[in-house]
């Protein structure tokens, strides 16, 4: 196994900030990590489900301002959001399981 560095593959030392900017996240909007993004996505799914539930209640109470079509669309959006969240959760659990089963 050859462990020597290839000089053609090293970073150009005249532009160190360019490589650093490509790797570092953009913090112009504040520090947002994976956890913050995941929480925001969960809140959006929850809000969609709550909106769908409220639309269903309004249709059941025969509110003339709420149509059945809008309610069905809201229900489908909530269902799709929940299914996507469920798939992400399953992938994260599988990744965690794979990492924990790795030998050291």
pLDDT of residue 100: 94
Asked whether the predicted pLDDT for residue 51 surpasses 80, the reply is yes
At 32, the pLDDT band (50, 70, 90 cuts) reads: confident
Of the candidates 43, 53, 54, the residue with the CA atom closest to the CA atom of residue 81: 43
Q: Is the pLDDT of residue 22 over 50?
A: no
Count of C-beta atoms within a 10 Å radius of residue 71: 19
| pLDDT tens digits, one per residue of 75-89 | 999 999 999 999 999
- Is residue 26 in some structural domain? no
Establish if 23 belongs to a structural domain: no
Are 43 and 81 spatial neighbours (Cβ–Cβ below 8 Å)?
no
- The reported pTM is 0.62
Q: For residue 80, what are the domain limits?
A: 35-100
Q: What is the rounded CA–CA span in Å between residue 95 and residue 104?
A: 16
* Average pLDDT of the chain to the nearest whole number: 81
The answer to the question of residue 28 being in a domain is no
């Amino acid at each position: 196994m050859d462990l020597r560095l290839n000089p053609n593959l090293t970073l150009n030392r005249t532009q160190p900030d360019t490589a650093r900017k490509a790797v570092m996240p953009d913090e112009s909007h504040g520090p947002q990590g994976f956890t913050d993004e995941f929480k925001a996505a969960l809140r959006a799914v929850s809000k969609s489900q709550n909106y769908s539930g409220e639309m269903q209640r309004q249709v059941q109470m025969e509110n003339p301002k709420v149509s059945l079509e809008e309610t069905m669309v809201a229900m489908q959006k909530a269902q799709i959001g929940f299914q996507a969240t469920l798939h992400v959760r399953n992938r994260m659990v599988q990744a965690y399981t794979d990492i924990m089963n790795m030998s050291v």
